[in-house]
Structure 1
C-alpha cells in the first residue's frame, strides 16, 4: 500500500478523504473522537506545506442535499482543535469552491460539502471521481471505516490522480494485521451484531486458533436457531443457519467451543419503555424480540474475557441505541477494558460503544472499520486499499 509519508506535498493541493461521520446534537458535534483521530494526518500535511482540501460523508443523505447533514459543525469543531480558520463551502464543484481552492496558501485547510449529497458518489461513478481529482494534485485516503465500500471518492478517483494512504489508514490496517499475527493463548473471539452471514467467515478463519468463540446478537441467535430453538422476532436466513451448522461441526472437531448465550433479555417491542424481562435461551417466545444478553451469559463471557491473553470483539451483544437494552454492551466494554489481555475492538457500533462508555484508552486497538474490519479479519482484499497498491 502506497502511503503519503515521504511524498513531496509542498505547495501541492492535497485532497484528503477523512471519516468525519460524527454524531451531532443541536447542530454541533456531540463526539469529536473521529475528528481527533484524523489530526495526525492533517497536521503532517499542513506542516509539510500542503494546501489541504478535506472531504467526507456525514450522516446518510443517500444522494440528497439535507440541511441537517451539512459540514458546518465539522468545520466548527476542526477550528477548535486546530486553532486555525477553516474555510467551509456549501458545494464541491461550484464557483465558490474553485475560487477558495485557487486562493489557498500552503498550510491552509478547506472543507468541502458533504460527499453524500451526490448520488454518483455511492455509484463509484467515474465522471464524479474525475471531477474530484481535478480539484487537486494528490489524493490521500484516510478513511478506513468505508474502505470496503466502492465509492467514487475512494476507488474510482485513484485512476485519475496520484493516490496514497493517510497516516490513520496505514495505522489502523497495520494494527489489525499485527494483532492477528501475534496471537497469545487463551485467545477469545467475541462476535455479535447483525448480518450474521458476513460474520461466519471470520468465525471460520479463527475456529482452529481461538480457544473460545463467544457469539451474541443476531450471530448468537443464528447458532441457537441452528440448534433447533425458537429465537423470537428476527429474520435469520437459511444460508446463515446452514453456515452456523457447519461451524458447530468444525468446532466439535477442533474442540474449540462456540459458546452460545444461556439467557437473554427480551422485549415486546424494540423501543424505549417497552415491557422487557430475562428468559432462558430455551424459553424465547416467538412474538418477542431478543434485545440483550442475560446475567448468566454475561457471567460466562466475563470469565472467558478475564482469563484470556488476547481478545477480539466485533459487534454489539444487544440493542445499543436504547438505554434499557444496553447493559450487556456496557458490561462487556468494561470487561474488555479491565482484562489484562491484549484487546482489539472493531466495527462501527462496537467502536462507538467503547467511546461512549469512556473505555477507548484502555483498549489496545480500536478500529472504526465496519465491513473493512471484517474484511481485514478474514485477510480479504479491501477495495479502497487494494487500489492503493497499484
Structure 2
C-alpha cells in the first residue's frame, strides 16, 4: 500500500510523488494531506463569506496565476510586500528603486478591471517604509505611497496601511494569507508583517496560512496557536491557490 502524506512536495512531479503510485495497486492520502485539503476546501472552495485573501512576497509573477484565480472568489484582496510595487507602478505611481515588474503592467491593469467588475475590494499600501536596501540598518522612514523618493526602496507597509488592512480584516469570515508584508528578516522592515500577524490572530474569522516565510514570521512571534491552520506547504499551497490539481493527488486517482 502506498500512502502519500507529503503535502509540502505534492506540487512536484517527482518519482516518489507520481512514479511509485503508477505501479501500486493500493494508494491513499495520509492524515496530514487530508487535513491540508480539508482546510483548503473550507478556506477557498467553500468559504464563509466575506472571504479576504492577503498576498505578499516579492514578485507578482510568482503569484500571478493565484491572483487571477482568487479574483473570481475573494470579496477582499489585500496586497503587501514588494509585489504591491508593481500594482502601484502600473497605475502611474513612482516607486523609486523598489523591486517591480513593468512587463506585468498590462496583466495587472486587466486584473484591476476584473476585480472592479466582480465588486472585489482591492487594498494597496497608502504609505510605506523606505530605505536604501533590504539589509540597511537605522535608515528606515515612513512616506506616503504617492511620494516614494527616487533613491529609496519600499521595503514594508507603513502604519496607516496596517490600520487600513486591519479594518478590512475585521469584517471577514474567512482569511487566507500567503506572503510577508515586507523584508521582515530585517527588523527595520518587519513591523508590517508582525502587525499583520496580530491583526489576523485577533480576527473572528477562519484563518488559513501558507508559505515558508509567512510561517517563519508567525513562529518568530510565537502566535501559531492563534491561527486555525498553518499549512506545511509553500509551493503546494500556492498551486492550490492557483486552482490547479496537485500532481501527487492526480497520481493517486
Indicate whether the TM-score tops 0.5: yes
* Contact 1:269–1:275 (CA under 8 A) maintained in structure 2: no
Q: CA deviation at 1:367?
A: 0.9
**Residue matched to 2:11:** 148
Q: CA deviation at 1:239?
A: 4.0
Gaps of 5+ in 2: none
Matched residues in 2 for 1:347 and 1:181: separation? 19
From 210, 220, 234, the equivalent of 1:356 is 220
SS at match of 1:282: helix
Equivalent residues in 2 for 1:28-39, closer than 5 Å: none
SS at match of 1:155: helix
Q: CA deviation at 1:309?
A: 1.6
**Residue matched to 1:215:** 79
Matched residues in 1 for 2:143 and 2:33: separation? 43
* Contact 1:268–1:289 (CA under 8 A) maintained in structure 2: yes
Matched residues in 2 for 1:238 and 1:269: separation? 20
Q: CA deviation at 1:221?
A: 1.2
Q: CA deviation at 1:375?
A: 1.4
Matched residues in 2 for 1:151 and 1:208: separation? 31
SS at match of 2:251: helix
* Contact 2:43–2:175 (CA under 8 A) maintained in structure 1: no
Q: CA deviation at 1:341?
A: 1.4
**Residue matched to 1:309:** 173
Residue deviations 1:2-35 (CA, integer Å, cap 9, x gap): xxxxxxxxxxxxxxxxxxxxxxxxxxxxxxxxxx
Equivalent residues in 2 for 1:39-188, closer than 5 Å: 138-160=1-23, 163-188=27-52
1:202 aligns to 2:66 (yes or no): yes
SS at match of 1:222: helix
Give the direction of change, closer, same or farther, for the CA distance of 1:297–1:388 in structure 2 (3 Å limit).
same
* Contact 1:317–1:329 (CA under 8 A) maintained in structure 2: yes
Q: CA deviation at 1:342?
A: 1.5
Residue deviations 1:232-258 (CA, integer Å, cap 9, x gap): 334433443222110111122223221
* Contact 1:278–1:294 (CA under 8 A) maintained in structure 2: yes
From 251, 275, 294, the equivalent of 2:158 is 294
> Once superposed, what is the RMSD of the aligned Cα atoms?
2.1
Q: CA deviation at 1:143?
A: 2.2
Matched positions, count = 252
Q: CA deviation at 1:357?
A: 1.4
Gaps of 5+ in 1: 1-137
SS at match of 2:180: coil
Give the direction of change, closer, same or farther, for the CA distance of 1:153–1:234 in structure 2 (3 Å limit).
farther
* Contact 2:57–2:83 (CA under 8 A) maintained in structure 1: yes
Residue deviations 1:271-311 (CA, integer Å, cap 9, x gap): 15252111111111233222110000000001111222221
**Residue matched to 1:77:** none
Relative contact order, higher structure (CA 8 A, sep 6+)? 2
Give the direction of change, closer, same or farther, for the CA distance of 1:149–1:239 in structure 2 (3 Å limit).
farther
Matched residues in 2 for 1:321 and 1:358: separation? 16
Matched residues in 2 for 1:338 and 1:227: separation? 33
TM-score, structure 1 length as denominator? 0.60
Who wins on radius of gyration, i.e. which is larger? 1
* Contact 1:216–1:260 (CA under 8 A) maintained in structure 2: yes
**Residue matched to 2:104:** 240
**Residue matched to 1:266:** 130
TM-score, structure 2 length as denominator? 0.90
SS at match of 2:230: strand
